[in-house]
Copies of this chain bind each other. A is one copy, B any other.
Amino acid sequence: MSKALNLKTAEIEKISHLDYFNIAISVDCVIFGYDDKDLKVLLIKSDLEEFEGLYSLLGDLVRPDEDLETASYRILKERTGLDDVYLEQVQAFGSLDRHPSGRVITIAYYSLIDIRNHKLKLENNELHWHSVKTIKKLAFDHKMILDTCLMRLQQQVMENPVVFNLLPEKFSLRELQELYEAILGYELDRRNFRKKISIKDWLTDINEMETDVPHRPGKLYKLKAEHRKRSGVRRNTVTRVVSV
């Protein structure tokens, strides 16, 4: 891989090899979580002077020997310890000035994880969950990336059973509705919401009830196994590379 790529036009060859490899490529993960009726995102304090005091998404350069999904899974694994996560590519961001130290094109992924039932190794990593709706500014173009990923999540939410990755295995319909409301940013009618969900036929009633709620407990449900796909990408080939 040290010789020039013999790509397409002759024109390319005029320009030296190094010029073309002076672009770095990174992956940035918008890691969504859900807790306390609130959509969260996992952020780290930026270590760049230019962005002193600002937070940024979790990202890293892509290594020459790993593909994009592998890089994303590696970041998730390194930062959170998790390797069983939902992950989906959203968009590439490549403005010239998006990174102060040089040319870095980044591919954004969003990821959904259940905060409560996975103990993350957060503290030692300087990682923290931030409420999405209170975030005003981030390092780099990460606010734009976050917004784009949130929009994508909002689009997906009613068509695909993806949000269950944010919930524990068993949940009540109220919890599910609150999650939808947190993602969409507006309130839903309870009866219409339940009807819609029941038409989709995603859930099974497991004949258990909520406990420890200070009111009448609701029924608990599980996502049906056939809809449980933890990743938008082919995970069996990918996570092995990451987690071994």
Contact = CB atoms under 8 A, between A and B. Distances in A.
Contacts of A104: 5, 7
A1 interface: yes
A36 to B, nearest CB: 28
A107 interface: yes
Interface stretch (A65-73, A161-169, A182-190, A209-217): A65-73
A96 to B, nearest CB: 5
A99 B60 contact: no
A118 interface: no
Interface stretch (A12-20, A128-136, A222-230): A12-20
A204 interface: no
A233 to B, nearest CB: 11
State the oligomeric state as a number of copies. 2
A5 to B, nearest CB: 5
A5 B24 contact: yes
A102 B3 CA distance: 9
Interface stretch (A87-95, A171-179, A195-203): A87-95
Contacts of A99: 5
A236 interface: no
Interface string A97-109: 0010111110100
B12 A20 contact: no
A190 to B, nearest CB: 28
21 contacts: A5-B24, A6-B47, A6-B101, A7-B26, A7-B60, A7-B61, A8-B47, A9-B60, A12-B60, A12-B61, A15-B63, A20-B63, A20-B64, A21-B22, A21-B23, A23-B64, A62-B105, A64-B103, A65-B96, A67-B96, A92-B107
Given A5-B24, A65-B96, 18 more contacts: A1-B102, A3-B101, A5-B61, A5-B101, A5-B104, A7-B61, A9-B60, A12-B60, A19-B63, A21-B21, A25-B105, A62-B94, A64-B103, A68-B92, A89-B91, A92-B92, A94-B107, A105-B107
